[in-house]
Amino acid sequence: SSAASDVYKRQVMQSCSLLTETDLPIGEIALRSGFNNISYYNKTFLKQIGCTPRHYRTYTVFGTSG
């Protein structure tokens, strides 16, 4: 349903903040963002953002500094 996808979208956006503002492990970020299945989190993140959480963190946090 669209209500569920809205929830996942919010959870992924919340995880984006945690990925860039903390150095928590990605598994911990998935749990804190409301995902109890890390592989599902990775799949949902990839579908919405276009890259994996690990790549997102690397390119967002470190990509601009060289």
Each residue's pLDDT tens digit, 3-47: 989 999 999 999 999 999 999 999 999 999 999 999 999 999 999
Q: Which of 39, 36, 41, 31 is nearest to 9 (CA)?
A: 41
pLDDT value at residue 60: 85
Q: What tokens appear for 35 in the block?
A: 């995902």
pLDDT value at residue 63: 60
**pTM score, whole prediction:** 0.85
pLDDT value at residue 2: 83
Tell me the one-letter amino acid at 1.
S
Residue 62 has pLDDT above 90, yes or no: no
Residue 66 has pLDDT above 70, yes or no: no
CA distance readout (Å), 24 to 6, 57, 60: 24, 11, 15
